[in-house]
Amino acid sequence: MKINLSKITKNGKAIYLAYDQGLEHGPEEFNDKNANPLYIIDIAKKGKYNGVIFQKGIAEKYKKEIKKSKVPLILKLNGKTRIYKGEPYSPPLGTIQEAVNLGAAAVGYTIYIGSEHEGKMFKEFEKIEKEAHAKNIPVVAWIYPRGKYVKDDVSRAMMAYAARVGLELGADIVKMKYGDNLSDLKWAVKAAGRTKIVISGGAKVNEKDFLKQVKDIMKSGAIGIAVGRNIWQSNNPLELTKKMRKIIFG
Ligand code: FBP
């Protein structure tokens, strides 16, 4: 099924501002400024992001401001904390109907391939995807190889596997991790076929390293980045966004 991605891309490219870390990592990732979702909405708006990623709670409580910002909402429909250290499982936390009610332009869903619970996540993803596509809502799948059987989640084989699983399952965009080897990433992009790839930002690094990563992403054929900490933990998120935009959109 061909889903229209025009609401969450520009000239086939995309930058998304990810802010589901409050659930995934806990508020230890935040400071006085970026603990406030309004700060994030402001960056997303002024930085002209093609999407801002929130869990349902923030999307509901800040609905008015998100709508006013005109930044497309990508509603994350599952998630977990990192307190439990067992085999990873991300349960569904919201529905497509809720995404529609919140005005979401797309939905996001995490699958940990390789986990003992992989099958359950596949099944739950399938339901979400079917309902989303019936309403022409794009599905962004966070595909992260993880669990005790995964030795190196960003090896050439694992990156390509993550990308390919996205294509096989029918995701419109796969959000995946990058291990700093451009040729591996190019192979992963190939493995994804017509499913598009965006790369996860990762933990904060210095500006030079971050922008090098963005350059690699664009050389690989991926369509862009879904970044959180490197932007909203930066002292100057809009300056950095400008530099990132220049690389992505030219
Ligand atoms: P960052 O740019 O901050 O790494 O965000 C990307 C992201 O995928 C978030 O959407 C998510 O909360 C987080 O990373 C999950 O990271 P992990 O599962 O590796 O802890």
Among residues 101, 212, 228, 122, the alpha carbon closest in space to that of 165 is found at: 122
Write the single-letter amino acid at 61.
Answer: K
**Closest alpha carbon to 107 in 137, 82, 71:** 137
Written as one string, the DSSP assignment of the chain is -----GGG-BTTBEEEEE--HHHHT-GGG--TTTTSHHHHHHHHHHTT-SEEEEEHHHHHHTHHHHHHHTPPEEEE-B---SS--SS----B---HHHHHHTT-SEEEEEE-TTSTTHHHHHHHHHHHHHHHHHTT--EEEEE---STT-S-TTSHHHHHHHHHHHHHHT-SEEEE---S-HHHHHHHHHHTTTSEEEEE--S---HHHHHHHHHHHHHHT--EEEESHHHHTSSSHHHHHHHHHHHHH-
pLDDT in tens, the chain (250 residues): 789 999 999 999 999 999 999 999 999 999 999 999 999 999 999 999 999 999 999 999 999 999 999 999 999 999 999 999 999 999 999 999 999 999 999 999 999 999 999 999 999 999 999 999 999 999 999 999 999 999 999 999 999 999 999 999 999 999 999 999 999 999 999 999 999 999 999 999 999 999 999 999 999 999 999 999 999 999 999 999 999 999 999 9
d(CA 21, ligand 1 centre) in Å: 6
Given ligand 1 and candidates 16, 20, 21, which is best to mutate, with the most ligand atoms within 8 Å of its CB? 21
In 10 A of CB 241, how many CB atoms?
21
How far apart CA 174 and CA 192 sit, in angstroms, is 8
Residues 56, 165, 145, 227: is their CA dihedral positive or negative? negative
State residue 2's pLDDT score. 86
Query: Residues with beta carbon inside 6 Å of ligand 1?
Result: 18, 20-21, 24-25, 53, 142, 144, 200-202, 227-230
Q: What's the CA gap between 226 and 17, in Å, rounded?
A: 6
Q: Are 52 and 46 in contact (CB under 8 A)?
A: no
Q: Rounded CA gap, 63 and 103, in Å?
A: 9
Q: Indicate which atom in ligand 1 lies nearest the CA of residue 231.
A: 2
Active-site amino acid positions:
144, 175
Residue nearest to atom 4 of ligand 1 (CA): 202
Which position has the token pair 């930085």? Answer: 47
Q: How far apart are CA 36 and CA 134, in angstroms?
A: 34
Q: What is the value of pTM for the model shown?
A: 0.97
